[in-house]
Amino acid sequence: MSNGNIEMGDIHWLMDILQNIDVGLVVLDQQYKIRLWNGFMESHSGISPQLAKDKNLFSLFPDIPEQWFRQKAEPVFQLKTRTFTIWEQRPYLFHFKNYRPITGRATFMYQNTSIIPLESVNRSIDHICVIIYDVTDTALGNEESHRLRAELTKLTRIDPDTGLLKHDAWNNEAERELSRSQRTGTPSCIALLRHPAGTTTPQQRQDIAQVLTKTLRQTDLATRIDDQHLAVLLPASDEGDVRFFAERVRKMLARQMSNHSSVNLHAGIARAWPGFATVTHWFDAAKSVIPAEHSDPDHVIQVYEKPSTESRVYCSPLDIAVMMAVTNE
């Protein structure tokens, strides 16, 4: 450049930069007609600048949601402010294939975009520039990181032998649900399921867990307590719902595990009453009503009755023993 003026040679290399820069550049007028279409856009779309020029953006790319894009672009025209989109909100603006060998597992190019106002000589905004950045590497790396974190969380929370929650993880979820239920008054229940001692092998225990998993809703959570007992947390469920659930599990076990002799289920059900101070109290309430192993077949599912007063605090057998010892002293 010389004397403050742009020479022809300068224009030539500026145009060369525009055509070869590794980002997409699209200039649009107020009618969303294309005024500039650089080499990046030609390379990835297969549409030449000559063919793209003066074409309406939404006619040339009908998969771009017009109303959504106009809501993004209009403030740029009217307020002279920049705006942007990120791949987490919308993976791409232009549906381009991904050709990078390192990130070949992506079927399309992930994109971030910036939309900037272009001021004319009279200081009005008659055009905007859409800048398209290929962020496929970043997006896939982020998704892989999320996947690995999810796998790690699964390893720390899920019992690999049964696919059920580990007991500590289940207990934490039950604590939160007890607090939520008592705060909102929404019914929630625990079902403690027991199968007879000495009648289940490790393989049978896996089979029982699989049958149980098939009956769970998305919000229900189950864990294995020991070789005989499983506990199920059923949010937003009253005693009638959980009795139906336990009976369904019992029937499915009888039907699907008919080759296993004596696999019969007993269940104790307890609702999250206000008097329960901890999950241990809630769990012990369900445990206290679980029928004996040789109970009448018509009474294999029992429900813990509501305490006589709302203010009554449930006491486990251990609590009672401690209080008696203190009293005797």
> Which residues have a Cβ under 8 Å from the Cβ of 203 and sit 6 or more positions away?
none
190-199 pLDDT, tens digit per residue, is 999 987 655 5
Out of 116, 142, 168, pick the residue that ends a domain. 142
Determine the structural domain holding residue 284 and report its residue range.
159-328
- Please tell me the predicted confidence (pLDDT) of residue 226: 85
Q: Directed axis angle between helix 167-184 and helix 279-288, to 10°?
A: 100
- 318 is a domain residue: yes
3-state secondary structure of 319: helix
Same structural domain, 166 and 240: yes
Q: What is the CATH number of the domain that holds 209?
A: 3.30.70.270
- Please tell me the predicted confidence (pLDDT) of residue 14: 72
Same structural domain, 74 and 183: no
For residue 236, which amino acid is it? A
Tell me which DSSP letter residue 261 carries: T
- Please tell me the predicted confidence (pLDDT) of residue 81: 92
- Tokens 């998305």, located at residue: 218
Q: What average pLDDT does range 305-318 have in this prediction?
A: 55
- Residue 314 pLDDT greater than 50, yes or no: no
Q: What's the pTM value of the predicted model, to 2 decimals?
A: 0.51
